[in-house]
Structure 1
Amino acid sequence: MALFPRRIAGRYAMLGRADNETISLAYSDDLYEWSTGATIIEPRWPWEFVQIGNCGSPIEIAEGWLVLTHGVGPMRNYALGACLLDRNDPSKLLGRMTYPLVRADATERKGYVPNVTYSCGALLHDRTLILPYAVADSFTTFATMPVDRLLTAMR
């Protein structure tokens, strides 16, 4: 689960994966009681067919809420992606990556948990995304990408 960094329309908002397969959006007036949550993102592409989840809290940018995701595809391969939600109504999906942003390459597949890239969140510096992530539960590294390039990769 990941809280949005500010209230939306006066309510707290949170992303989660209550059904172990999709990303849902829930709201609360007091942080103690939460709505059931509605599914807003379902697995769609081969690299996320098994399940999709968020990686940390959404990041607010001028275009909307940038949400980093992890998808689980065939053979339990974990890859990282991203999507964009509407700033005022995050139940509206504005765009998402059709291909992974980050995935383990041939030299990074071996480790404690093979074929896995995973992140717990990212930072934004000006318009550059700084994405720390782990590979095969064996080491960590990071990637950087201009937000404009990331948004261009979404449909």
Structure 2
Amino acid sequence: MLLRYHNNPIITRKDIPEIKPHLVDVSSVFNPGAIKHNGKYILLLRVQNRGRETFIVKAESEDGINFKVDNKIVHFSGIEKLKEKVYHIYDTRITKIDNVYYIMFAMDMDDGCKLGLAVTDDFEDYKFLGIVSRDDSRNGVLFPEKFNGKFLRFERPNKVSLKGGPKTGNSIFLSESTDLIKWKYVKEVMAGRFHYWDELIGSGPPPVKTREGWLHIYHGVATHFAASNIYQAGVALHDLNDPGILIHRSRYNILEPRELYELVGQVPNVCFPSGIIVEEYDNEGFALKSSKVLIYYGAADTSVCLAYTTIGELIDAAKQ
């Protein structure tokens, strides 16, 4: 149901400037976090070099389509103080809370994948706040407001081991925190559906507040095909007052690999939604049903693509 931008991909490896010594003739760029800041569209890109190391690089646009990529790597000030070794930082998700922009990302470390958190107010200087998960976890997305004085997030504990691959997960949990650093699980809110398109799941972009519930785009992986895992996107609605309550969940995917740039690449058959920008909200902070929605996604773990829809269409899809 999503309408792909006709000139996808919007960012490829050829758009990444030479940033010596780490980013020269890079291999891929994908899975961006997205936000609108001071009227400009901001992406935090996952850029991978020929050593398969990952770095975060900012891109900026006036129209959400034509991006200029910075010629410097994003540095999270304070991360160098960690005693643990960080091998990779990737898959940023961006949430604005009280005029502060929080960036949650995955960190590959010796004892697995952990969630990291950073903060910025201008997308020029970034402060690392800390490791914010004890367990092996990924796909952490913050809600844009507090609930009874507590921060909430969805996350995907990595408790499933795939043959020949890293740990992954088949359920999404709601977690809470009073300080953004120490988190505890509240409950499981969604699980993978065996033998269907979303056997393994994880959150995509941060949730969006609508009059009909929290709109939650997620990715699902079909693993039962002999040749490849197939990464797709779906949508769900959660209760406004208690996001742990799942109201609706799409029976069908809303985006699946069909185009050549999604089918062929570093990891074939991947549409991975990670960034969302909603253009219009009402005066109480609810996304308008008529609002245009821009969804940024990684294609085949190789390039960045864009798809369009509306809030109303996403709500209707969740209810199917």
Q: Same fold (TM over 0.5)?
A: yes
1:142 aligns with 2:310: no
Cα gap change, 1:40/1:148 in structure 2, threshold over 3 Å: closer, same or farther? same
Post-superposition shift, 1:25? 0.1
1:12 aligns with 2:176: no
Q: Deviations over 1:133-153 (max 9, x none)?
A: 121122222111111122112
In structure 2, what residue type is equivalent to 1:47? W
- Partners of 1:9 and 1:88 within 8 A in 2: no
In structure 2, what residue type is equivalent to 1:114? P
Q: 253, 256, 269: which is aligned to 1:103?
A: 256
Question: 1: CA distance between counterparts of 2:235 and 2:185?
Answer: 24
1:44 aligns with 2:208: no
Cα gap change, 1:142/1:148 in structure 2, threshold over 3 Å: closer, same or farther? same
Q: Deviations over 1:100-136 (max 9, x none)?
A: 1111115331111100111222111122221011211
Post-superposition shift, 1:27? 0.9
Matched-pair identity in %: 30
Trace 1:6-155 onto structure 2 (pairs within 5 A): 6-18=145-157, 19=159, 20-44=169-193, 46-49=196-199, 51-74=200-223, 75-105=228-258, 107=260, 108-126=262-280, 127-155=291-319
In structure 2, what residue type is equivalent to 1:116? V
> Any unmatched runs of 5+ in structure 1?
none
> Any unmatched runs of 5+ in structure 2?
1-139, 160-168, 281-290
Post-superposition shift, 1:73? 0.6
Aligned Cα root-mean-square deviation (Å): 1.5
Structure whose alpha-carbon radius of gyration is higher: 2
Question: 1: CA distance between counterparts of 2:208 and 2:317?
Answer: 17
- Structure 1 or 2: larger strand share? 2
Instruction: Provide the TM-score with structure 1 as the length reference.
Output: 0.92
Instruction: Provide the TM-score with structure 2 as the length reference.
Output: 0.46
